[in-house]
Amino acid sequence: MAAAAAASSLGHVTSASIARAAGLDSDPATLQRFILTEQCKHPAASGDFSLLMSSIALACKATAVAVKKAGIAGLYGIEGVVNVQGEDQKKLDVIANDNFVNALLSSTKVAMLISEELPEPIVVPADRAGKYIVAFDPLDGSSNIECNVSIGSIFAIYERTTDLKTACDVEKDGLQAGTKLVAAGYCMYGAATVMVLCMGASVIASTLDPSLGEFIITNKDLRLPTPGKRIYSINEGNLKSMPAGVQAFVAECKDGAKPYSLRYVGSMVADVHRTLCYGGIFLYPATASSKSGKLRLLYEANPMAFLMEHAGGSASSGSCRILEVEPKGIHCRCPVIMGSPRDVDNVLAKMAAAGEC
Ligand code: AHM
Ligand code: MG
């Protein structure tokens, strides 16, 4: 940088400035470079995590391509199978799941995979297992696929707790609370393909440059703005079956001279991404018919709560931090209240006043 500055002050034209003038970058700040730089800060690091992340980036890129081609390639519609959640699997759900499973298994760094689309975990035989466990929702927001609204992939990365020489134990290794997460992130297939990732420190955002096929870092420290925009995001059609405290919060949002704005995409990735960028609150609380809400703990609520907390926000189940909820099964659900602390605290106070938490 200093050399380039000195050269330009002398009127020289550097090769980097020629490239920049042509709209090119001869030194792109890729996500992979960022991860390798982080790896170098830990001399004892094996490089396994960097390889694991490369495989996740590959799965996301392959899924981004499938999402973009879906209309033309006839990939809309259902596959004809009902998944473990009782939902119709869409063709793109199946393709995205294959992308993740294939990329992760071939990384050789995983011991167990947990997918929203698979009834049981994939346990890698001990002689081929790595140390990581990845729980993922390969394509979240399935109801928005056909109408070309933003959808995404969500992933959560744990380290196994059992002996590396044995096959993973589904309960001990797979049912770890979110406080044990090593890293988590999502990839949003929106107007641009954006990956947001946290490896335990800051939350970093990167954007897929389609000409390079690489994620380029666009924000090394994504923080929720304080106090954040006054936005609430909830499927309000179900409001009457939600806790009284949530109903009171929504009523307050609409009350007074300066009401909150309502924004609800119906894709968790998009609704959480907006909340991280602008502030406000996203809720998918318990309802009368679903006491644990709709969203799955391991591969939806936990990874998003991890990102939210590391970006300066809060994430609660209504009873405790989402990250402290003990998983009861790989597909268990959890109520979600996350976003700006101002708003999350307000909801929790109203739930407490109603004797609901
Ligand atoms: P999915 O994993 O089958 O796509 O379901 C999860 C999605 C979330 O992305 C979103 O927040 C929620 O379901 C929307 O549900 P609803 O249609 O009830 O509002
Ligand atoms: Mg989902």
- Exposure string for 262-299, b = 16+ CB within 10 A, e = fewer: ebbbebbbbbbbbbbbbbbbbbbbbbeeeebbbbbbbb
CA of 40 to the centre of ligand 2 (A): 34
Distance of alpha carbon 357 from alpha carbon 354, whole angstroms? 8
Across-strand partners of 321?
316
Q: Which two tokens stand for residue 204?
A: 């970093």
Domains, in order of start, for the chain: 31-219 (3.30.540.10), 231-353 (3.40.190.80)
- In this structure, which residue's CA is closest to atom 6 in ligand 1? 141
117 CB near ligand 1 (under 6 Å): no
- Note the maximum CA span of the chain: 71
The per-residue pLDDT for 77 is: 73
Distance of alpha carbon 111 from alpha carbon 270, whole angstroms? 30
For CA atoms 278, 261, 348, 274, the dihedral sign is: negative
Q: Which two tokens stand for residue 272?
A: 């959480």
156 near 197, Cβ under 8 Å? Answer: no
Distance of alpha carbon 158 from alpha carbon 133, whole angstroms? 5
Cβ neighbours, 10 Å, residue 38: 17
Half-sphere exposure in the Cβ direction for 130 (13 Å, CA): 21
Q: What's the pTM value of the predicted model, to 2 decimals?
A: 0.92
- Exposure string for 207-222, b = 16+ CB within 10 A, e = fewer: bbeeeeebbbbbeeeb
- In this structure, which residue's CA is closest to atom 5 in ligand 1? 141
Strands 261-262, 281-284: pairing kind:
unpaired
Q: What is the DSSP string of 43-112?
A: TT--SHHHHHHHHHHHHHHHHHHHHHHHHHHT--SEEEEE-TTS-EEEHHHHHHHHHHHHHHHHHT-EEE
The per-residue pLDDT for 7 is: 47
Which residues touch 4 (CB under 8 Å, ≥6 apart)?
14, 16, 17
At 9-18, the pLDDT tens digits run 555 567 778 8
Q: Which two tokens stand for residue 196?
A: 């947001």
- In this structure, which residue's CA is closest to atom 17 in ligand 1? 266
Secondary structure class of 292 (helix, strand, coil): coil
Distance of alpha carbon 207 from alpha carbon 220, whole angstroms? 12
At 138-148, the pLDDT tens digits run 999 988 998 99
The per-residue pLDDT for 2 is: 46
Atom of ligand 1 nearest to the CA of 141: 4
Secondary structure class of 298 (helix, strand, coil): helix
Rg (the chain; Cα; Å): 21
The per-residue pLDDT for 12 is: 55
The identity of residue 250, as a single letter, is V
Secondary structure class of 238 (helix, strand, coil): helix
252 CB near ligand 1 (under 6 Å): no
Only one residue has tokens 């002996």, namely 163
CA of 139 to the centre of ligand 2 (A): 6
The per-residue pLDDT for 70 is: 85
CA distances from 240 to 117, 208, 299, 303 (A): 30, 41, 27, 28
63 CB near ligand 1 (under 6 Å): no
The per-residue pLDDT for 20 is: 78
Which of 256, 257, 261, 235 is closest to 246 using CA atoms?
A: 235
Mean pLDDT by 10 residues, the chain (357 residues): 48 72 85 91 87 97 94 77 70 94 97 96 94 97 92 97 90 96 98 97 97 96 96 97 98 93 98 98 96 97 98 98 98 98 98 95
Q: Which two tokens stand for residue 249?
A: 């919060």
322 near 282, Cβ under 8 Å? Answer: no
